[in-house]
Amino acid sequence: MRDSEELFEEVDDVLRKLRPYLNRDGGDAELVQVKDGVAKLKFLGECNGCPSATITLKAGIERAIFEEVDGIHEVVQVF
């Protein structure tokens, strides 16, 4: 089993790929923590408080992380 630091880097790599799409709408996402298979993200800019943020998280970011990072079983938004 990989450690949290390694998983953090892998999840952060996925976010780097997705960042241009978030930036295009004036937003961003920051990876806050990876622990026990849970990635915690904080939305920034226009994404923070956006009604579509949950959809972006679950349908876009979470799906991409699950596809590319083995060992993550949940992605949650923190405030």
Q: Quick check: 78 pLDDT over 90?
A: yes
Break the chain into its structural domains and give their ranges: 4-77
Query: How much is the average pLDDT of 40-48?
Result: 95
As a whole number of angstroms, the distance between CA 55 and CA 53 comes to 5
Query: How much is the average pLDDT of 47-51?
Result: 89
Enter the pTM of the model.
0.92
**Per-residue pLDDT at 67:** 97
Over pLDDT 90: what percentage of the chain?
Answer: 84
Is domain 4-77 classified as CATH 3.40.50.1100? no
As a whole number of angstroms, the distance between CA 48 and CA 56 comes to 11
